[in-house]
Amino acid sequence: MPTASSSVPSQGSDRKDLSRPFRKSSLDVASFVFGGLTGLATLLILAILAIILGNIIWHGWAGFSWRFVTSGTSQGMFDVDQAGVLPMILGTTARVMLMTLFVLPIGVITAVYLTEYASSTSLFTRIIRGAVNNLAGVPSIVFGLFGLGFFINFIGGGIDEFLLPNRPEPVWGKPAIFWASLTLAVMTLPVVIVATEESLKAILPGLREASLALGATKLETIVMIVIPQAMPGILTGGILAVSRAAGEVAPILFTGAAYYMASLPRALTDQFMDLGYHVFILSTQSPDIERTRPILYATVLVLLLLTLALNFVAILIRARMRRKMRVAAH
């Protein structure tokens, strides 16, 4: 029996290893080097983040002024001394607020179904979850194509053809702030669903059981107990969705963003100017990139302030929520 005979001495040597004093564990060279490398990778990512933000804040601050955020582009959008970004700020704000109206109810209701009603093991629930995850991974430019093909051509074109047949020009069947918002709502749906679900799961089951024991129906429990408790999470989802949508350019390229507009959008069917798209225009179409650099940096700073500030708030709320959850679990 060769196996048995060979295993006996090795067992003996193992035992010897264990009986040695703790020396290797704290001063192991490989551990030191590789552990250090992972720390270095972390540090490098932080450094990149700091460089990007630092560069933008440093240069952006120079071109930033009160006038810049309160005036329009009527004097020409590449004019360093006159151009402002107020129409873009308003356009971006309007499109994300419009989007919130659609995405919040749908996202929250879907999350309620997934956590409160669906059985977590059924194939059907798996398919819904798979669809949500997949929707989160669809390229943003494909959302743009979808908005054009579905919202503008199919629905907008349909409205024009059947409800407004005698107009010489398309009313709904063209890029508009309404279609851009809807496209973004589809894109940010997973963000809201995932965040809401997380907060619904964090609610103690005892709370639901107490409500049911007192005679409330399931729906009453959800509306009056569960959703109010989950409000911070729902809010986080909304903020994250807004922050994500505010910076997206690809989905609105064909669905509503305008290169230049003399006036602000007045109707849902108007096009709009957008901060992110304006950054793209200033970076790539400027007649003199060196001269327009200050307004480019300042515009980027405004966009970044908008999205990162929102993100930061969402992260703070979420961190607080998780801590509360951990405390509750113990």
| Shortest CB 124 distance to other proteins, Å | 10
Output 4 or 13, the one with its CB closest to other proteins: 13
DSSP state of 257: B
| Shortest CB 1 distance to other proteins, Å | 28
C-beta of residue 209 within 8 angstroms of C-beta of residue 221: no
DSSP state of 79: -
Output 75 or 130, the one with its CB closest to other proteins: 130
Q: What is the distance between the terminal CA atoms of the chain, rounded to a whole angstrom? A: 53
| Shortest CB 265 distance to other proteins, Å | 19
Backbone angles phi, psi at 208, to 5 degrees: -65, -45
Output 5 or 120, the one with its CB closest to other proteins: 120
C-beta of residue 212 within 8 angstroms of C-beta of residue 130: no
Output 55 or 70, the one with its CB closest to other proteins: 55
Written as one letter, the residue type at 110 is: T
Give the separation between CA 140 and CA 154, rounded to whole angstroms: 20
| Shortest CB 199 distance to other proteins, Å | 17
Residue 135 burial (C-beta neighbours within 10 Å; 0-12, 13-18, 19+): middle
Query: Residue 279 contacts by C-beta under 8 Å, 6 or more apart in sequence?
Result: 249, 296, 299, 300, 303
Output 94 or 314, the one with its CB closest to other proteins: 314
| Shortest CB 43 distance to other proteins, Å | 9
Backbone angles phi, psi at 204, to 5 degrees: -65, 135
| Shortest CB 231 distance to other proteins, Å | 18
| Shortest CB 70 distance to other proteins, Å | 22
Output 7 or 217, the one with its CB closest to other proteins: 217
Sign, Cα dihedral of 231, 235, 238, 241? negative
Output 5 or 284, the one with its CB closest to other proteins: 284
Give the separation between CA 259 and CA 272, rounded to whole angstroms: 9
Beta strands in the chain (DSSP E): none
